[in-house]
Amino acid sequence: MAAGGLGSCCWSTLSYTSHFQVRTSSLVVKAPRGRLVTGKPLRRSFVIKAEVKYVNGEEAKQLVAVEGYSVVDVRDTSQFERAHIKSCYHIPLFIENKDNDIGTIIKRTLHNNFSGLFYGLSFTKPNPEFVQTVKSQLSPDSKVLIVCQEGLRSAAAADKLDQAGFENIACITSGLQSVKPGTFESVGSTELQDAGKAGLVTVQGDISRVLGAILVCAFLFITFFPDLAEKIIGLIPI
């Protein structure tokens, strides 16, 4: 490119470190009488980020047994206590929500009367100390296998640790519910794949599912159509 009798060109070289690819560029300008003027080098840095590995149960077993990955279980306490991989770190992504403001009390009451009662799910909130707790147990260059029950929480946890600088992260694609019995040595009262099952659903099976659905629908109907619900209730003979 030329302008006002000046011509210019530039070149670049690449250098590598363990974490960064660094591009260095220099600008050369040709003056009217052929004199070369070299500008200051321009440095641009490009961060090369490692990708999170998504593996199945057998592959996860190899990562732990052969490659030395540490297991971080991010499930809530209730699921962890039912069954967990032996010698893993338990650092929940969500913790029990014990806040006592009006909004939280109402949400917790509704949760405990429905999801909590029928499916054994705890009322939780994000753990604000999750990343810091992991860092206190493992260094960012550690090899970490993150596990949860269905695979969603582990993916979210992996994203947080990736942003925090952890470089070797793996997750089980569909969570511990997809792991075959005997894949890992486990501790607890049930198998790893069954640790997410709790509440009345496990006791009464299909009857509880149907009853739970009916109660939820009735609750929503009364909430959104109170006048009509009152009329219907008034037609019921006592």
Q: Which residues are catalytic?
A: 148
12: number of Cβ within 10 Å? 11
C-beta separation of 67 from 184 below 8 A: no
123: number of Cβ within 10 Å? 19
Contacts of 220 (CB under 8 A, 6+ apart): none
| 3-state SS assignment for residue 141 | coil
β strands within the chain, DSSP E: 2-3, 6-16, 20-30, 36-38, 42-47, 53-55, 70-73, 83-85, 89-90, 94-96, 124-126, 143-147, 168-172, 186-188
| 3-state SS assignment for residue 26 | strand
C-beta separation of 16 from 22 below 8 A: yes
